[in-house]
Amino acid sequence: MPMMKRAWPLAALSAVIFLLGVSGFAAAQTTQSPLAAYMLLGPNGTRIARVITEVKDCPALFVDGHVVEMQVRSAAGIAAQRQTASRAELSKASAFPATTCEAAIPSDARQVSVHGWLLPLPPKTIRKIVVIGDTGCRIKAADNAVQSCNDAKAYPFATVASAAAAWKPDIVLHVGDYLYRENACPEGVAGCQGSPWGYGLDAWRADFFNPAAPLLKAAPWVMVRGNHESCNRAGQGWRRFFDPYPLTPERTCDVSEEDLSGNFTDPFAVPLGKGAQIVVWDTSDAGNKPFAQDDPRIGVYLANVRSIASLTRAQPHTILANHQPVLAIAGSRDKDGNVKLGPGNSSLAEILAGIDPKLFPSGIDLLLSGHVHVWEQLSFAGLYPSQFVTGFSGTQEDSVPLPESLPANFSLMHGAVPDAFSSWIDGFGFMTLERTGAADWSVEIHDTQGKVVERCTVKGRISKCRTRQVHAG
Ligand SMILES: [Fe+2]
């Protein structure tokens, strides 16, 4: 991929605009840099440039030396106050004092820039993938949970993002849950004093755009929506910034009566080249408990699963990315303090089983998810895809430990018995996938500094890791 060596000075940009004789791009001549500029990969691998700017009009984008007009995706404004996951007195309307702009980038474009910032493009064949998840700093009144957002050790997402960028990925996959600063930092708690809160742009900047900046520059992103981005939480920002589809009024999450539209997204595929693809599934509104029989979400999720099966047929090797892991283990404690092992996500497993008793189409080899705040890997002797969980990239880690070995006869949803299980329960970091064959990947687990603490291999549906449980120094 050809890269511009350094940012263009603003004077040079203005001169280029003048020489090109471009009219109608008044905003292009502003000297105000955008708050963020990044590249998303959307349905069928479409490249989507997004820019967030405090200027009313969208800036000009330069694509291979030509000026491309960006469209306003959402204008600056204060979104309607809506019912949120928090009590009314702990909620507020979400302010977005910035314009979100977008432009579709041709698949043969070689260089894209805005205000002298180069936007990354993917290579033709994608071989190196950074996988992160659960990256926000938790401030949640209902759980009395407060993470020290101002302490880079207690909340290390910025460090993780820098180290992941240094690995030089072709693309980044985020498996969901970006915004956790839902309520005000309690008085007297030094670790989070001064933090913005709620679901507006200020909270998005603190929890995502600022710490993620080096990784947004490093590569295009495939973004999965987590339950923290459902309509009654950070859905309004999710739709403005990261949803790859057009922003239509019923999908804005502004009105709770339209949540059945706002909480769902058609699954889409991002080709990786040479017979592989990632399929993205928005399961942000699926809880962990089985749905009631008359729950209207059942029909939408069943349609999603049929669509996933259809997408899967386009390539021999599919990675399915969604937020809540169907086939992973989460620890909890009963009232006597004993550790209980949760056997995966029952609501999604029931939906999948409603279409296929084997849960997943045979073309799906690998499941990538987050939600559980640990790293873990499970393999099922090829009967099911391997499941990896990467909910360990910034949000407070789970406090209930997972065992080094699973109890005898332990099974997950629908009797899925893991024959390999590895975990890292007390450390932050990121995972990398490097393609080594048609359906094969070399997997590394990195700590916050990028040091490799675990290595695994994926061969089709089978995965193996070196150690049962990581205990990084
Ligand atoms: Fe989650």
Q: Tens digit of pLDDT per residue, the chain (473 long)?
A: 333 333 334 334 433 333 343 434 444 445 689 999 999 999 999 999 999 999 999 999 999 999 999 999 999 999 988 999 999 999 999 999 999 999 999 999 999 999 999 999 999 999 999 999 999 999 998 888 899 999 999 999 999 999 999 999 999 999 999 999 999 999 999 999 999 999 999 999 999 999 999 999 999 999 999 999 999 999 999 999 999 999 999 999 999 999 999 999 999 999 999 999 999 999 999 988 899 999 999 999 999 999 999 999 999 999 999 999 999 999 999 999 898 999 889 999 999 999 999 999 999 999 999 999 999 999 999 999 999 999 999 999 988 889 999 999 899 999 999 999 999 999 999 999 999 999 999 999 999 999 999 999 999 999 999 999 999 87
Ligand 1 centroid to Cα of residue 323, in Å, is: 7
Q: Which of 101, 162, 115 is nearest to 10 (CA)?
A: 115
- Per-residue pLDDT, 378: 98
Ligand 1 centroid to Cα of residue 30, in Å, is: 39
Confirm if 279 and 311 have CB atoms less than 8 A apart.
yes
Ligand 1 centroid to Cα of residue 183, in Å, is: 17
CA R_g for the chain: 22
Ligand 1 centroid to Cα of residue 408, in Å, is: 28
Please give the torsion angle defined by the CA atoms of residues 295, 297, 302 and 304, in that order, rounded to the nearest 10 degrees. Answer: 180
CA distances in angstroms from 23 to 18, 54, 209, listed in the order given: 9, 21, 32
The predicted model scores a pTM of 0.93
Q: Fill in the amino acid letter for 427.
A: G
Ligand 1 centroid to Cα of residue 177, in Å, is: 5
Ligand 1 centroid to Cα of residue 34, in Å, is: 29
In sequence order, which ranges of 223-361 are alpha helices (DSSP H)? 235-241, 259-262, 297-312, 346-355
Ligand 1 centroid to Cα of residue 284, in Å, is: 8
- Per-residue pLDDT, 30: 59
Ligand 1 centroid to Cα of residue 66, in Å, is: 41
Ligand 1 centroid to Cα of residue 227, in Å, is: 5
Phi and psi, residue 105, nearest 5°: -105, 130
Report the side by side order of strands in the sheet with 317-321. 268-273, 276-280, 317-321, 364-369, 386-390, 375-379, 420-424
Distance of CA 398 to the CA centre of its chain: 19
- Per-residue pLDDT, 473: 72
- Per-residue pLDDT, 401: 87
Q: Which of 444, 468, 452, 392 is nearest to 134 (CA)?
A: 392
The CA distance from 390 to 81, in Å, is 33
Ligand 1 centroid to Cα of residue 69, in Å, is: 36
Listed by start position, the domains of the chain span: 118-465
What residues have a C-beta under 5 A from ligand 1, the ion? 177, 226-227, 371
Ligand 1 centroid to Cα of residue 134, in Å, is: 7
Ligand 1 centroid to Cα of residue 228, in Å, is: 6
Ligand 1 centroid to Cα of residue 123, in Å, is: 30
The CA distance from 234 to 93, in Å, is 11
Ligand 1 centroid to Cα of residue 124, in Å, is: 32
- Domain boundaries 118-465, CATH class: alpha beta
List CB contacts of 80: < 8 A, sequence separation 6 or more.
93, 254, 255
- Per-residue pLDDT, 288: 86
